[in-house]
Every structure is written in C-alpha cells, then in structure tokens.
Amino acid sequence: MAKKKRTLDFQRLKKVSILAPLTLVQLKKVLRDIPAVSYPEDRTILRQADRPSKVFIILKGAVKLHREEAGGERIYMGELKQGQVFGADALFSHQACRTMVTTSRPSQFLLLDRKLLKKIIELLEPDQALKFLAAFGRQIQDSCDLENRRYLHHQTQSLKIEVEKQRALTQMVAAVAHEINTPLGIINTAVGIMARELAEPKEITTQRAADIAESLELIRRNVERTRDLIQDFKKVSVSQITYSRELLDISELIQEAINLIRVSLKGSKISVQFVDRLQGSQRNWIGYRRYLSQILINLLTNVERYAYPNDVGGVVEIEIGMNKTDQYHLTVRDQGLGISQENIKKIFEPYFTTGHALGGTGLGLSIVHNLVTNRLKGQVKVKSRIGKGTTFFLTFPRTIPAD
C-alpha cells in the first residue's frame, strides 16, 4: 500500500478536538517523531474484521464507512471528516472492526498506538487527562452513533420495502380473486338458465335454441375473461401488468360490457338503459379495452347487490358524452336505496363493505378508483341520496397518455 509520510503541522493538530486539551509544547513533545500518513482517494484503510492496533485521527480529507452483510450486501454507514477518529472502539475493546473504512478523497491521518496513548496520558495534568479522555470518548460515541443510526435507518428501509411488497402482493391476490368472482358468477347463472331450458320436456323451438346459444356465448366470453385475469395473476406484481393502448369504439365497448352481465341483471329484474351522446369520431377512444369493462362490471354488480337488493329490480342508466376539452363523461345512475352520508366517505377504501353477509369484500370500488385514476388517468366521483339512488361520475381523456 503506497503511503507517504509527512512531518506534522502542530498548529493544525491543536484544532483536532481530542488533542485540544494538550498544550503546543506537550503536543510537540509527545508527537515529535510521529509522522502523518497520507493515503490517496478510494483506498481501503481498515477492513471489516481487521483488528487495528492503532487509533486513526483524520488530519485532512474524509473517509467513508461501509458495513458488509452476511449476504454480501454492502451498506453505506456514513462519512467521517477532519478531526474525527476511527478504529478506537476496536482498539480498546480488542474486537474486530465492524465497518470497512475507505478514503473518500486524498487524506492524511495521525496514528496513535496504545504506547503513544499511554505516553500522552502520563504527560498530562490530571484534569487535562480527564478532558482528553472525555474528548476521546465523545469521538468514539459519535462514530458509534453514526453507525447505529445509519444501520437502523437501512434496516427500517429494507423492512418497509418488504412490507410494501407483501402488501402489494396481498392486494393483488385479493383483487384478482375479486375480479374472477364476477365472470364465474355469470357463468353459473348462464349454466343455470341452460339447465332449466333443457330440463323442460318441451321441444326445442328456434327461440329456445337462440336463448341456449346466447347462454353458451356468455359462458365462452366469461371463461375468456377469467383466463385473462388469471394471466394477470401469474405476473405476480401489479406493476408488471401492462396492456397496450388501442384505438377502440367506446360505445361498442360499453355495450359489450353491459352484454357480459346482462343475463345476471335480467335475473335480478334490472334493466339497463344506455344513453349514447357521442357522435361520429367522438367514439374513437385511445384506451384500454379491459379496464373499462372491469370498471362497468364492478359498478353494475353493486347496483344489483345494493341499489336493488333481493331482486326488487329497477333501472340503471349508463350515459356517455364528451365535453369541450375532449374528456369523456361516463355516468352510471341508479334509483335504488342510496348510500348514507356516513358511508359515502368510505366506499372507495379497500375492504369497506356493508355487504359482508352477501359475500362482499369491499374491493370492487377500490379497484374502480384505482383503474380510473391510475389507468384511465381520470377521476371518479359519487353522489347519492338515501331512497333516491346513486350516481357514479367518471371523467377521463379521449386519448389516454402512454405510461
């Protein structure tokens, strides 16, 4: 290891806090023959597990401290600068260094071994010696504090990241399970209709054949949806799921989503009215096919379950229009039971549900909120009055910007 030795600058030494209790005469006497040692930048001075026989006082420059973890990960612990000390705790405790020390710029050190330290203490007046030891203790304390703070910070950060990853995964699993539930429910209804149709000992009329064919088609499309959702699930993290933007006919897309769950709505005596206020090219949406149907299906399932429960039936109106700033306005309006002022503040929170008994998990609207804001780059608002019904207002751009 290349190191240059230089004679000491005693005026500079006086400014080092642990040497401050010594007079210039004392300093010269004890350190007369001790050279300063210089190191270039980026030079390792102490390795973790080294057992230093000297204390290093930084006269010029600075050093970086790193700790190496069992897995090989290297954690930055901080920097020590001019006047600070390292190696002391290892020297006094006879233990190995807990950190690796590297110069962060060209630096100069004064090295004190045990013999030299003893000599200094012997030379000092008792109260001077006390001051010297106290200053020394403070320096050791400071560098230990720095290490511990950094280490704690690092551990907390890693733990936070881990917790965040777990949370995202749990949410993802819950969301996928939630989304798979809807198409499975529809498949179940369609199978039920078919079974009833086929069980009756009547001849198969053209109308019945058409009904059966419609149910079969619904089953096929919902199986497809389920399969797509499971594909998402395989991607493990939400951020990995990306769909490409497409040029879509938004009116057609809304109609398709309605068709997907129409059979289930019909069973609950709910009729859907689709009011399309778009004209010509206004229907051209640069967006994502999957997200819009996912949003509508969640909103419509809620209407079925909460606005008109127990198959009382009613109307749900879906309206799409466009404003002057090329934003779509999509509203889903029911005239059902409504939501209380107390609950309306919480409906977009994950796991908020008033329908535990009905199998609700409280994820539907949090998924809707997430999709509208993060994927469609839009907004969702809600208005409701008890006994009068609920309206969800969605706005989103005609061209969704690429991620």
Ligand X SMILES: Nc1ncnc2c1ncn2[C@@H]1O[C@H](COP(=O)(O)OP(=O)(O)OP(=O)(O)O)[C@@H](O)[C@H]1O
How far is 107 from 43, CA to CA, in rounded Å?
A: 10
Shortest gap between Cβ of 371 and ligand X (angstroms)? 12
User: Which residue from 99, 143, 302, 370 is in contact with Mg ion, where contact means CB under 5 A?
Assistant: 302
Which runs of consecutive H residues, i.e. helices, occur in 274-373? 289-302, 341-344, 364-370
Contacting residues for 12 by C-beta, under 8 A, at least 6 apart: 59
Shortest gap between Cβ of 179 and Mg ion (angstroms)? 11
How far is 52 from 135, CA to CA, in rounded Å?
A: 20
User: Which residue from 364, 380, 384, 395 is in contact with Mg ion, where contact means CB under 5 A?
Assistant: 364
231, two tokens: 């594909």
Shortest gap between Cβ of 50 and ligand X (angstroms)? 58
Site map 155..184 versus ligand X, x via CB under 6 A: -----------------------x------
Shortest gap between Cβ of 189 and ligand X (angstroms)? 16
Longest dimension (CA), the chain: 119
Contacting residues for 175 by C-beta, under 8 A, at least 6 apart: 363, 367
Stretch that binds ligand X, among 55-63, 78-86, 110-118, 300-308 (CB under 6 A): 300-308
Shortest gap between Cβ of 62 and Mg ion (angstroms)? 58
CA distances from 125 to 27, 121, 135, 137, 374 (A): 13, 8, 15, 18, 71
| CB closer to ligand X, 174 vs 248 | 174
User: Which residue from 172, 337, 371, 380 is in contact with ligand X, where contact means CB under 6 A?
Assistant: 337
Of the candidates 397, 353, 347, which has an alpha carbon nearest to the alpha carbon of residue 373? Answer: 397
Q: Is 215 in the site for ligand X (CB under 6 A)?
A: no
150, two tokens: 């950094």
363 binds, among ligand X, Mg ion, none (CB under 5 to 8 A by kind): ligand X
| Contact indicator for 20, 38 with CB cutoff of 8 Å | no
How far is 286 from 306, CA to CA, in rounded Å?
A: 32
| Contact indicator for 215, 230 with CB cutoff of 8 Å | no
267 binds, among ligand X, Mg ion, none (CB under 5 to 8 A by kind): none
| CB closer to Mg ion, 99 vs 302 | 302
Stretch that binds Mg ion, among 68-76, 192-200, 335-343, 358-366 (CB under 5 A): 358-366
378 binds, among ligand X, Mg ion, none (CB under 5 to 8 A by kind): none
How far is 296 from 382, CA to CA, in rounded Å?
A: 14
| Contact indicator for 314, 336 with CB cutoff of 8 Å | yes
Q: Is 360 in the site for ligand X (CB under 6 A)?
A: yes
Stretch that binds Mg ion, among 128-136, 257-265, 302-310, 342-350 (CB under 5 A): 302-310
| CB closer to ligand X, 63 vs 337 | 337
178 binds, among Mg ion, ligand X, none (CB under 5 to 8 A by kind): ligand X
Q: Which residues bind ligand X (CB under 6 A)?
A: 178, 302-303, 305-307, 334, 336-337, 339, 343, 347, 352-355, 360-366, 390
Q: In the complex, which residues of this chain contact Mg ion (CB under 5 A)?
A: 302, 364
